[in-house]
Amino acid sequence: MSDLTDAGRQQISDIAARHGLSQGAVEQMARAVAAGGGTMAQFNIPELGGGGQWMAGGMTMVGDMFNYGLKATVDSLCADLSNAMAGTAFFRAPQTIAGAAWWPADLGQPSAVGGQNQFRYAYFPAAARVAVDPGNGAPVILLDTLDHQIGGFSQQQSGYGDPFGGISFSSQYGQFALSSLPRAGVPEEPQPASQPVPMPEQPFADAPPPNQAPFQEPPRTPQETGDILSTIERLAALRDAGALTEEEFAAKKAELLKRL
């Protein structure tokens, strides 16, 4: 027996007709949006290009990263579902959506929210705090943003032991890992000054010794190709956040594309 409510089924039918999609695809996305609290969704829906991710007010990623029409469709669909869920119970099981805050009430309303998988965050500039829900049942963590004026968040490749899944932010001082912020109300041991997140290094190109044939790189595997395309996506996010100029982004992108 389906766990869809009658009202939820009707909403899905209406939204599917409005976007020219099947009801099955829209129901799958509705479940992803509900699982993300109405502010994010991770999905794998063939009709929408396979795997992807949506964040309210943030970056939308789809399998075909340069298909901007598909990105617009996903963004519009998820926004419609999130708005509908704010006033309609789609599923008989309890659903937590935007408006049912998971952060401390005294922080007020965030200016930005996002997340990855079960991990989620919310930024409160007036309180100089970032609230973090690890998504593993642990209590919400409050981070002190100090004098950073955060302009945006993005996801980088996380290092070993990073508790925040590679989430970084941009401020007037540059690009920083979210893990560089101190926990609010917890005395911190002296730490080295936060360093900007390093940009991908230029590949080192050396001419081959005399009488030696130039080195021929083996064909790229799908995994390597995906890594290069992911790097381009991250560079685009840095450009959009103001950390890169258009010229720097274009040069990096051209260089990476030559490696495909």
Q: What is the pLDDT of residues 194-243, one digit of tens each?
A: 555 555 555 544 555 555 555 555 555 656 667 778 788 888 888 887 77
Separation between Cα atoms, residue 180 and residue 178, nearest integer Å? 5
The pLDDT of residue 72 is 92
Q: Residue 10 has what pLDDT?
A: 93
Q: Domain for residue 139, yes or no? A: yes
Among 60-64, 71-75, 114-118, 187-191, the range of highest mean pLDDT = 71-75
- What per-residue confidence (pLDDT) applies to 76? 93
212 assigned to some structural domain: no
Q: What is the rounded distance in angstroms from the CA atom of residue 148 to the CA atom of residue 125?
A: 9
pLDDT at 244: 76
Residues 12 and 80 in one domain: yes
Q: Are residues 175 and 236 in the same domain?
A: no
- Is residue 228 situated within a structural domain? yes
Q: pLDDT (tens digit, 9 = 90+) per residue, 84-119? A: 887 788 877 544 444 456 788 888 877 777 766 667
In a domain, 124, yes or no: yes
19, 51, 85: which is the final residue of a domain? 85
Domain assignment present for residue 40? The answer is yes
Domain range spanning residue 67? Answer: 6-85
For the chain, where are the E strands, in sequence order?
40-45, 50-55, 61-62, 112-116, 119-124, 129-133, 141-144, 152-155, 167-171, 174-177
- Percent of the chain scored above 70 by pLDDT? 75
80 and 121 in a single domain? The answer is no
Query: Do 25 and 79 lie in a common domain?
Result: yes
Q: What is the pLDDT of residue 94?
A: 47
Does a structural domain hold residue 60?
yes
pLDDT at 213: 55
User: Which pLDDT band, with edges at 50, 70 and 90, does 151 fall under?
Assistant: confident
How confident is the model over 8-23, as a mean pLDDT?
94
Q: Residue 17: what pLDDT? A: 96
Specify if 110 maps to a domain.
yes
Tens digit of pLDDT for each residue in 153-183?
Answer: 776 655 556 777 678 888 888 888 888 899 9
Q: What was the pLDDT predicted at 11? A: 93
Predicted confidence at residue 28, as pLDDT, reads 92
- The residue-averaged pLDDT of 43-65 equals 86
Does the structure show a pLDDT above 60 at 1?
A: no
Question: Does 115 share its domain with 70?
Answer: no
Residue type, 227: D
Identify whether 97 is part of a domain: no
Report the candidate in 247, 139, 121, 223 with the shortest Cα–Cα distance to residue 177: 121
| Number of structural domains the chain divides into | 3
Report the C-alpha gap between 4 and 1 in whole angstroms: 9
- Domain end among 85, 114, 145: 85
Say what the pLDDT of residue 65 is. 79
Structure token pair of residue 191: 């730490």
pLDDT at position 98 is 47
Which of 130, 165, 180 is at the close of a domain? Answer: 180
pLDDT for 120 beyond 50 = yes
Block residue for tokens 């599923």: 91
pTM (two decimals): 0.41
